[in-house]
Structure 1
Amino acid sequence: MEHNKMIFEKVSALAARKGWITSQLALAWAHNQGNDVVPIPGTTKLQNLQSNIEALSMKLTPQDMAELEAYALSDTVKGGRYDNKVLITTWEQSDTPPLSSWNLS
């Protein structure tokens, strides 16, 4: 956790240098992944919705992208997405029947 916290702090510092909040930087990064990536942020607060909308117009430089990619290398982030102590159901544990067996008529 402490290792990943240091990465988060670096990402937060980049956001602060740009005058953004960390969540805006994350959305701007996602928007820079290509036209086939559509982030769907969720929020229940109007202030956060406005912040998310503002992120659409925020531009990252190639240097910003390189800095963020360096933080996200697979050998840099430690641990899994979910804590093993908490049972969380994801698509990996699902038992969805194959599409070919669905009755779509």
Structure 2
Amino acid sequence: MVLVIPTCRDLGIGIVFSPLGRGFFSLGLGITDKFSDNDFRMILPKFQPENLEHNKTLYKRVNEMAMRKGCTPSQLALAWVHHQGNDIFPIPGTIKIENLNQNIGGLSVNLTPEEMVELESMAEVVKGDRYPPKFPTWKTVDTPPLSSWNAE
């Protein structure tokens, strides 16, 4: 995300970002215990045992900061994205109204520059890619060259 932000800003493009980690910040340390047998998240690299233990230590640090701030870890994550600038928009993917209402509380969380640096340092060391290798994303799918597009 570090290189994307300046480029998008140079081009006047807004950014949407989902910081809740597929439920990691709302479900906490026992998240994988709550997965059903067919839960899509079971294949995600960040939830694999070799990455999960490391990521749980980051969660504990986020949770400690959230407790100091009087908010939930999800609200803190949303506040971190909200504080990135007026051109970056957090998108908390939820289907439950109670989670939406709680997430709105992230708008009231004020972060100091020092807290922003601390959260950024944690975000930089999360282990496990967003998706498994060869999963169809912008990294794995060939986009036809612009010259081949029919803009009519």
CA distance in 2, matches of 1:20, 1:51: 9
- Tell me the amino acid that sits aligned with residue 66 of structure 2: A
1:97 is displaced (CA, Å) by 1.6
- Alpha-carbon separation, structure 1, partners of 2:103 and 2:126: 25
TM-score (norm 1): 0.79
Q: d(CA) in 2 for partners of 1:102 and 1:95?
A: 14
Q: How does 1:48-63 map to 2 (within 5 A)?
A: 48-63=99-114
Specify the alignment match of 2:131 in structure 1.
82
Aligned residues: 101
**Alignment-derived partner of residue 144 in structure 2:** 97
Q: What is the aligned-residue RMSD (CA, Å)?
A: 2.0
Show structure 1 runs of 5+ residues with no match. none
Structure 2: distance between partners of 1:95 and 1:72: 28
4+ residue runs over 4 A deviation: none
One-letter amino acid of the counterpart of residue 54, structure 2: H
- Please say which of residues 22-31 and 35-44 is displaced more in the overlay: 35-44
- TM-score by length of structure 2 reads 0.58
State the match for 1:46 in structure 2.
97
Which range is displaced more, 28-37 or 1-10? 1-10
Quick one: distance in 2 between partners of 1:6 and 1:100? Answer: 47
Percent identity (aligned)? 56
